[in-house]
Amino acid sequence: MLRARLISRDRPEDLSLVLRRLNLSPRNREHLTRELGYAHVLVTGGRPSYEEELVPPYGSKEREKLPTWTPGGHVDHPGEVLLSGSRQQFDRLISLARKSPRTDGLARVLEEVLSPTPMTALTLSGRRFEWGARTYLMGVVNVTPDSFSDGGSLPDADSAVEHALKLVDAGADIVDVGGESTRPGSLPVSADEELSRILKVVEGIKRRSTVPISVDTMKAAVAKEALQAGAHLINDVTGFHSDPTLAGVVAAAGAACCLMHTQGMPKTMQQAPRYDDVVGEVMDYLEEGMFTATEAGIPRGRILLDPGIGFGKTLEHNLFLLRRLEELRGLGQPLLVGTSRKSFLGKLAGGKGPQERLAATLGSVAAMAVLGGADVVRVHDVGEARDALAVADAIRRARGGGDLYGG
């Protein structure tokens, strides 16, 4: 599959601020932003012939007008290339590639990653989620006896509803109700058992609040009744890879969905997970789920994606995915990321247990917001995460450098 992955890019907003400080005209600022702003893009799944068809010989002046072309050396992955250059150089390459049906696909994927289409705002329960405006909060409401950090803490529907309402008061934009533990090593439960745990909770939240309700399930039978009870979003940890009828249920209800990546099922997923390319394989898996969703009739504007931190991944896999969230943006969908209280944070914090991982959780949440990688973060401690995000989002959007910067 031909794909372009944005490895790094000078932040154009920062360059624009400096050019404004130099008192350059808007026209000159726009021109220099395209000429000076550099990007590095990894293209995978392409053909070695692209270079022959598009790139002039070394030493020619025409070659200097295009991005630097660095081909890969993997025999099993022919056609991989790292492209490095200014936006102006990429524009020239895209223009050249568009001239032939053999290379038009390259033009398309480069354009998608360098000039992504703005993501459609999502409305759930009357609330509008403007992606990119800020980092939104999903609060966790586990009604399970065996979840990894809070299993059994909400023994009945009334206590779960009260907990959900406290999360809303603390700043949750969505609440996520789960009736089946997906911690490493956990065993599945029946649809009937899952429904007995969640339905009264969903109905109780719906009666007392307008907050959007997500239900964490991989079963179509559970999703159908949960949506009828008032849920607005189905959060499937298998990304529509488990129950082939689930996407159709979500589509028929006009609901939204979050598709998560996992390698294996909870019972076995942490038994020596391995990848050749964790980012690429996560993207492939999520793209398959998106295809299933859209084929079933779910609009792309109602699909969120989750890289599945802790689901079939080692500590290093988790950290690498968090560092490279920008590559996942190439899929063109809002990203939901859950790191709250997870075991990899405990390891990094010196072996602390789930209830002692608040500081580590806030560190991960703030880092994701500053890096601009996550649109929604799924957390247990909503009030504390809200404060961390308020600071992180403000830092990311800071523009007040003084009068020379125009503000």
Count of CB atoms within 10 A of residue 75's CB?
6
Q: Which two tokens stand for residue 10?
A: 């000078």
Q: Which two tokens stand for residue 260?
A: 């998560």
Beta bridge partners of 42: 5, 82
Q: How far apart are CA 124 and CA 212, in angstroms?
A: 6
Residue 295 has φ and ψ, to the nearest 5°, of -65, -30
Check: CB of residue 402 under 8 Å from CB of residue 361.
no
- The amino acid that residue 151 corresponds to is G
Q: How far apart are CA 22 and CA 343, in angstroms?
A: 48
Catalytic machinery residues: 342, 378
Runs of H (alpha helix) within 304-371: 315-323, 325-328, 343-348, 358-371
CA distances from 407 to 12, 19, 81, 98, 399 (A): 17, 14, 41, 41, 7
Check: CB of residue 205 under 8 Å from CB of residue 169.
no
